[in-house]
Amino acid sequence: MTTNIAIAENITTLRQVEEKLGLKLSDERQFFTEWMDDLPTLSEAEEIRLEQVRQNYLYQISNGSLLEETVKMVVLSPLLELAGFYQSPYRFKTEVSGFLRT
C-alpha cells in the first residue's frame, strides 16, 4: 500500500528534494533544447556572468524560499544590467515608500 503526502507541507527546499526524493539538478545544457532555438550568440563574458547569476540564485534558494526583494537583487537586477536596461535610452522609476509619502 502506498502513502500519499502533500509535498508542499513536507518538502520546502531544493535541498530536501535532493535528500528525500533523490533528484538532482541537471547541468546538462541540452536538457531543454527548444529553449535554445534561434538565440543570439553570447560573448564569453556574458556566459560567465549568467553562470554567476545562476549559481548565486541556486545558492540562495537551496535552503528555502526567497522573498521577492531577494530575487530582485540576486537575479533580476544583474539580468537587467547585462541586457543594458540601466543605460540610455532606458529610465525606470520605483515606488515611493509609504513612510516617504506626506
Mean per-residue pLDDT of the chain = 82
Identify the band that residue 7 occupies on the pLDDT scale cut at 50, 70 and 90: low
Which residue from 63, 54, 70 is spatially nearest to 19, judged by alpha carbons?
63
Identify the band that residue 30 occupies on the pLDDT scale cut at 50, 70 and 90: confident
The DSSP-derived string for 36-74 is: GTTPPPPPHHHHHHHHHHHHHHHHHHTTS---HHHHIII
Average pLDDT rounded to a whole number, residues 68-95? 90
Which pLDDT value is given to residue 74?
94
Backbone phi, psi, residue 9, to 5°: -85, -25
The pLDDT > 70 percentage for the chain reads 84
How far does Cα 73 stand from its chain's mean position? Answer: 10
Q: How far apart are CA 5 and CA 11, in angstroms?
A: 10
